């Protein structure tokens, strides 16, 4: 049985995916105390805190290192500070631990913008460091919309395979094939909705009606000036990217016209479009939305893992 560690674990998207495939989690960490409590509720294990204070010797031996390392320094919805701030430099903690333990695979995830920030110097640095410690990196931008998830969520998935593996453990990776499963936002909506999710304003503008379902967000209107968080979409398409931050009336979930009313999405609906079971616990209210916005989609991690082949 392969063993894995879950760094910057969040609410456990990597763990859900890999445990479903029979792998064993032997270590987890996350500095956010609310996330630690959520993780404990879901998995019966409280993660370690600040990884910069954890000796690599304390971390158990493992075959796979998983990390959705903090994306805010690289996200267009953040300040895009790249490697220049502490959260950006947390990538070097992955390098530190991988260099000591030499797992056969590093499985990483981050926002698409990491490929272009600082004139692509950030990704060049990441590739260089991964190569220096003995790994061949594969990276692909995948959109969850094309893998049976009713959310437009583009992320970069990194599969780093150790270059010195012996013939009896030789791995090869190619990106997973899109399934284009016909699932839409309307398929996961709840019937009983908190009244606080509905938007009542006199500046709502519906520009058009759509009748055809598509595997992408279908914008039909706006409110105020139509900025980010003020655009209205149809449930016949997909949700926009669930975000941990952002402003506007539709902050974090987007706005949707459902049964002729405009509203945000509920926590349970956000769980569904992130691919978590309804029984998966998250914090209440704003913290819950933030935790889901920061999470990785288990189905996407599973698709990537299934595409690593033993040759």
Question: Catalytic residue positions?
Answer: 71
The full DSSP string for 202-265 is S--EE-----S--SS--EEEESTT--TT-EEE-TTS-B----SS--STTTTT-EEEETTEEE--
Please give the backbone phi and psi of residue 8, each rounded to the nearest 5 degrees, phi first: 50, 55
- Helix, strand, coil: what percent of the chain each, to 5? 30, 20, 45
Task: Please name the helix (run of DSSP H) or strand (run of DSSP E) that holds residue 308, with its range, or none.
Answer: strand 308-310
Decide if 98 contacts 133 (C-beta within 8 A): yes
- Identify the three-state secondary structure at position 194: coil
Q: Please, what's the b/e burial string for 129-153 (b: 16 or more CB within 10 A of its CB; e: otherwise)? A: bbeebebebbbeebbbbbbbbbbbb
Q: Which of 91, 284, 43, 211 is nearest to 28 (CA)?
A: 43
Token digits for 303? 């698709």
């Amino acid at each position: 049985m392969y063993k894995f560690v879950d760094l910057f674990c969040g609410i456990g998207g990597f763990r859900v995916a890999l445990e479903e495939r029979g792998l064993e989690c032997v270590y987890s960490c996350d500095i956010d105390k609310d996330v630690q409590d959520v993780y404990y509720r879901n998995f019966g294990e409280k993660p370690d805190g600040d990884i910069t204070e954890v000796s690599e010797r304390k971390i158990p031996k493992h075959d796979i290192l998983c990390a959705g390392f903090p994306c805010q320094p690289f996200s267009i919805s953040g300040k895009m500070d790249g490697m220049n701030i502490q959260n950006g430099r947390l990538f070097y903690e992955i390098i530190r631990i991988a260099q000591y333990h030499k797992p056969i695979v590093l499985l990483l995830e981050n926002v698409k913008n990491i490929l272009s920030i600082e004139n692509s110097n950030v990704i060049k640095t990441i590739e260089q460091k991964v190569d220096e410690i003995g790994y061949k990196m594969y990276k692909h931008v995948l959109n969850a919309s094309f893998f049976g998830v009713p959310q437009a969520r583009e992320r970069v998935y990194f599969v780093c395979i150790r270059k010195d593996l012996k013939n009896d453990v030789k791995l090869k990776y190619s990106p997973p094939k899109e399934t284009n499963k016909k699932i839409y936002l309307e398929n996961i909506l709840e019937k009983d909705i908190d009244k606080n999710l509905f938007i009542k304003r006199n500046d709502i503008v519906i520009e058009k009606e759509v009748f055809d379902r598509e595997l992408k967000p279908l914008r039909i209107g706006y409110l105020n000036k139509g900025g980010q968080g003020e655009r209205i979409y149809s449930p016949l398409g997909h949700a926009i990217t669930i975000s941990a931050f952002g402003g506007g009336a539709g902050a974090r979930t987007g706005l949707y016209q459902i049964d002729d009313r405009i509203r945000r999405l509920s926590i349970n609906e956000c769980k569904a479009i992130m691919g978590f079971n309804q029984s998966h616990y998250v914090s209440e209210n704003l913290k819950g939305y933030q935790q889901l916005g920061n999470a990785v989609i288990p189905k996407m991690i599973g698709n990537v893992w299934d595409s690593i082949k033993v040759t």
